[in-house]
């Protein structure tokens, strides 16, 4: 195991600009049926892409790791490229000994790793713009596919011979009747997610926390208060349009409680608010608990920080632009003003408010405005699919009936929790993120609209401290409409997350959440014992 997602600078080139001088890697996905016969996943390259019109497998060029400028591990490359091209990894087993294809004339090397999915898996890819079709082809017929990439054809022609050596002289035939005993790398989305979390901020967290704040900012902090109370004092007897007492009563947390938490941290943290659809809960929250329960028995490097990690929106969303930090993103959105942060990477940035009500009455429609407007923009995960898939692949020695029973138990917990909730029109979850002052400028920036950095508020910390200080609140330019853009991957970074405080307010009581967490941990512990 021990996967770690490296921070990457991009695919390397030769001095003449040739693609992939460090080689490439891909994932050959095989799906057996009840008879043991396998199908292989092929993707058709879209027009305008490299090798357009050809059928191939997920993969791409090996990139260079930031700071060291060394090539990433080929297996990392294969998994990373697969995530980028098909959106989600399937549950399955990956053999760490690849088929190696080498061009004798150019020296280009491509490593193809075998991924075996569970029998009759229902997983299918969600193809992105670089592909326009996918197909599961019978393995013994795939080599005859029209317009097949020559490298894939070569790999299929030599697969039996290559894998006979690669998997300890136990050849993998086209009829796979049992899982080969070859010490494969078990992959589940939970395990992969928890090993792919570090961001460029990780290496400088401790140094930033130890560094003294500017004297001007420190002087302002001495007078800081709860920013939501400061906002209310500036708008006496007035709420933003759309907010009324009925709406406030449906909030998953009271305003006095929000202000109490803000007061408690006003001299040490800034606050950012974000909302998402309640339809993700218990899916979102259960997914987070399940991943922690699965990994805490074996992830020694992360175990101590598991309880600090928090997933935004769907816990399996992947940030496409892994190597970016907040300053890279600011530069990108400045140079591409027509694009919102959604085009920079999948939820690489969270749109947030600096207080509960600020910015909910303007066209930006950000953050807590999502609560007001029902936050229906995020689809819930398929609980049954990924719970069952994770457990089957994580505990391959357990009998199917035992795994299915555990899956049903977890799903039943979700159903019970949902049925116990009161029906209400406003069903969003409110996320409150408290960021230490010393980390603010590394994790967030101020945006005027559409993710574009606000040129009149270049110092994020100074702006946010002024907003929570009564005598300077009115001095902040664009105070009514500004947004915080928070680097979301830091919520999942095991080196950064312990320094953040994340509160998820929902209609689920703490006792309900505690009961679900305890039961899921018991279920996973039972499966570990049976294995």
Along the 531 residues of the chain, how does pLDDT read in single tens digits? 222 223 333 344 333 334 567 889 999 898 888 877 788 999 999 887 778 899 999 998 888 765 567 788 888 888 888 877 887 777 777 877 788 888 777 778 888 888 888 888 888 887 777 888 999 998 778 878 888 888 888 877 766 554 444 444 343 333 332 333 334 455 555 555 555 567 778 888 989 999 999 999 999 999 999 999 999 998 888 777 777 787 788 788 899 999 999 999 999 999 999 887 666 677 777 777 887 787 776 655 556 667 777 776 655 554 445 446 787 778 777 776 655 555 444 457 788 899 988 876 654 445 676 666 555 444 455 677 677 777 876 777 788 889 889 989 998 888 888 787 777 666 678 889 999 999 999 999 998 877 789 999 999 999 999 999 998 888 899 888 888 999 887 887 878 988 999 998 888 888 888 888 899 999 999 988 887
Rounded-to-integer distance, Cα 15 and Cα 390, Å: 44
Which pLDDT does position 7 carry in this prediction? 35
CA distance 387 to 290: 8
Nearest to 263 by CA among 222, 234, 213, 226: 226
Instruction: Reduce the DSSP state of residue 64 to 3 states and report it.
Output: strand
Q: Give the long-range contacts of residues 402-410, CB within 8 A, separation 24 or more.
A: 402/527, 402/530, 403/527, 406/523, 406/526, 406/527, 409/519, 409/523, 410/286, 410/290, 410/520, 410/523
At a CB cut-off of 8 Å and minimum separation 6, what does 48 contact? none
Q: Using the structure block, give the residue that is written with the tokens 């999948």.
A: 346
The per-residue pLDDT for 178 is 30
Q: Measure CA of the first residue to CA of the last residue in the chain; give whole Å.
A: 17
**Rounded Cα–Cα distance for residues 315 and 474 (Å):** 38
Alpha-helical runs (H) found in 136-204: 139-142, 150-166, 189-194
Contacts of 210 (CB under 8 A, 6+ apart): none
Q: What pLDDT, on a 0 to 100 scale, did the predictor assign at position 380?
A: 54
Whole-model pTM: value is 0.70
Q: How many Cβ atoms sit within 10 Å of the Cβ of residue 78?
A: 26
CA proximity to 243, closest of 427, 424, 426, 429: 426
**CA–CA separation, 113 and 401 (whole Å):** 30
Report the C-alpha gap between 144 and 470 in whole angstroms: 73
Other CB atoms within 10 Å distance of the CB of residue 300: 9
Neighbours of 525 (CB within 10 A): 13
Q: What is the dihedral of CA 384, 386, 390, 392, to 10 degrees?
A: 50
Residues in the chain: 531
Measured distance CA(34)–CA(36) in Å, rounded: 5
With residues binned 3-state (H G I as helix, E B as strand, rest as coil), the percentages for the chain, rounded to 5, are 40, 20, 45
- Distance from C-alpha of 78 to C-alpha of 59, rounded to nearest angstrom: 6
**Torsion sign, CA atoms 316, 350, 417, 382:** negative
| Distance (Å, whole) CA 473 – CA 342 | 30
Pairing label, strands 63-65, 38-45: unpaired
Find, among 326, 3, 380, the residue nearest to 187 by Cα.
Answer: 3
- The predicted pLDDT at position 11 comes to 41
The torsion angles phi and psi of 453, rounded to 5 degrees, stand at: -55, 140
DSSP assignment, residue 488?
Answer: G
How far is 320 from 485, CA to CA, in rounded Å?
17
Q: How far apart are CA 142 and CA 43, in angstroms?
A: 12
Which pLDDT does position 188 carry in this prediction? 52
Q: Of 431, 494, 405, give the one whose Cα is nearest residue 5.
A: 494
């Amino acid at each position: 195991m021990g996967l770690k997602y490296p921070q990457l600078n991009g695919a390397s080139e030769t001095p003449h600009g040739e693609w992939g001088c460090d080689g490439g890697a891909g994932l050959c996905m095989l799906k057996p049926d009840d008879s043991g016969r396998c199908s292989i996943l092929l993707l058709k390259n879209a027009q305008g892409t490299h090798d357009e019109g050809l059928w191939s497998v997920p993969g791409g060029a090996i990139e260079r790791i930031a700071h060291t400028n060394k090539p990433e591990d080929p297996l990392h490359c294969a998994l990373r490229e697969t995530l980028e091209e098909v959106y989600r990894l399937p549950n399955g087993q990956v053999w760490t000994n690849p088929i190696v294809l080498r061009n004798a004339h150019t020296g280009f090397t491509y490593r193809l790793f075998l991924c075996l999915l569970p029998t009759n898996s229902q997983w299918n890819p969600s193809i992105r713009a670089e592909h326009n079709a996918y197909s599961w082809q019978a393995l013994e017929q795939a080599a005859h596919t029209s317009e097949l990439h020559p490298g894939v054809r070569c790999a299929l022609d030599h697969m039996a011979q290559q894998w006979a050596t690669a998997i300890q002289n136990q050849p993998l035939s086209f009829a796979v009747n049992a899982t080969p005993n070859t010490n494969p790398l078990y992959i589940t989305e939970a395990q992969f997610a928890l090993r792919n979390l570090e961001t460029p901020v990780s290496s400088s967290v401790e140094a930033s926390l130890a560094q003294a704040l500017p004297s001007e900012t420190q002087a302002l902090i001495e007078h800081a208060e709860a920013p939501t109370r400061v906002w209310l004092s500036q708008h006496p007897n007035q709420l933003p349009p759309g907010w009324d007492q009925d709406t406030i009563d449906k909030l998953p947390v009271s305003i006095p409680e929000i202000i109490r938490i803000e007061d408690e941290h006003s001299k040490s943290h800034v606050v950012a608010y974000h909302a998402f659809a309640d339809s993700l809960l218990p899916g979102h929250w259960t997914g987070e608990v399940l991943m922690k329960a699965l990994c805490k028995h074996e992830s020694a490097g992360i175990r101590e920080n598991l309880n600090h990690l928090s997933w935004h929106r769907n816990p399996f969303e992947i940030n496409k632009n892994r190597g970016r930090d907040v300053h890279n993103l600011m530069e990108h959105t400045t140079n591409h003003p027509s694009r919102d942060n959604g085009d920079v990477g999948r939820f690489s940035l969270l749109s947030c408010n600096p207080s509960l009500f600020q910015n909910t009455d303007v066209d930006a429609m950000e953050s807590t405005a999502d609560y007001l407007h029902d936050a229906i923009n995020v689809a819930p995960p398929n609980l049954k699919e990924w719970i069952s898939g994770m457990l089957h692949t994580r505990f391959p020695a357990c009998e199917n009936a035992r795994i299915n029973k555990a899956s049903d138990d977890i799903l039943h917990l979700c159903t019970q929790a949902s049925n116990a909730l009161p029906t209400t029109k406003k069903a969003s979850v409110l996320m409150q993120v408290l960021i230490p002052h010393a980390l603010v400028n590394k994790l967030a920036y101020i945006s005027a609209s559409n993710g574009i950095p606000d040129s009149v508020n270049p110092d994020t910390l100074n702006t946010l401290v002024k907003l929570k200080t009564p005598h300077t609140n009115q001095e902040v330019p664009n105070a009514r409409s500004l947004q915080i853009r928070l680097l979301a991957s830091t919520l999942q970074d095991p080196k950064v997350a312990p320094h953040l405080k994340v509160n998820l307010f929902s209609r689920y009581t703490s006792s309900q959440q505690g009961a679900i967490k305890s039961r899921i941990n018991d279920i996973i512990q039972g499966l570990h014992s049976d294995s």
